[in-house]
Amino acid sequence: MSERIIIETPRLHLREFREDDAAALYELNSDPEVMRYTGDQAFTDPSDAREFLRRYDEYARSGFGRWAVTDRKTGAFMGFCGLRRDRETGDVDLAFRLFRRHWASGYATEASRACLQAGFERFGLEEILGRAMRENLPSITVLQKLGMKYRDMVEDGGEFWLVYGVTKDRFEALESV
């Protein structure tokens, strides 16, 4: 199956999801530690992941979406990272989710920085937000490393989320240093 690579970084490829990602996506979302701070429900079985991928329409709707993160050398599925436009507010947010074996290796920051750059340069966005549960210190650290600034705290379903954001101008200024 041919890959449609959207972004390349020194260690990673980010590409559109494919139906054959279903088993790996199911495995990723079956890890309680991975899902702990997402606010999402785990898939109940691999067919749920396949159905999610079949119905995933973000690329057609927005021109961007969450992308599979793969190891540039091996092609192994590591998780996902990408952008999503909220259907109600129009806000665009960044999210990332990786297998635990890839945590604390700089992959989330590397993939996220590349997504922000693509969002601003390729997709013409002016601002991108990031949300993290207030207890999720590793994700908050990633958002801060990307130059995102704290904006607000919102409550959703009994969970408190910190909202960060970065504008195109701020991101470009930080990247040029």
Tokens, residue 151: 């904006």
Tokens, residue 149: 């600034």
- 3-state secondary structure labels for all residues of 101-133: HHCCCCHHHHHHHHHHHHHHHCCCCCEEEEEEE
Strands lying side by side in the sheet with 92-98? 5-8, 12-15, 66-71, 77-85, 92-98, 127-133, 159-167, 149-156
The pLDDT profile of the chain, 177 residues, written as one tens digit per residue, is: 456 899 999 999 999 999 999 999 999 999 999 999 999 988 999 999 999 999 999 999 999 999 999 999 999 999 999 999 999 999 999 999 999 999 999 999 999 999 999 999 999 999 999 999 999 999 999 999 999 999 999 999 899 999 999 999 999 999 987
What was the pLDDT predicted at 161? Answer: 97
151-154 contacts: CB < 8 A, separation 24 or more?
none
Query: β-pairing, 149-156 with 77-85?
Result: unpaired
Query: β-pairing, 92-98 with 127-133?
Result: parallel
Q: What is the per-residue DSSP string for 28-52?
A: HTT-HHHHTTT-PPPPSSHHHHHHH
What was the pLDDT predicted at 3? Answer: 66
DSSP run (H or E) holding 146: none
Instruction: Delineate the domains of the chain, giving CATH numbers in brackets.
Output: 5-125 (3.40.630.30)
Give rounded-to-5 percent helix, strand, coil for the chain: 35, 30, 35
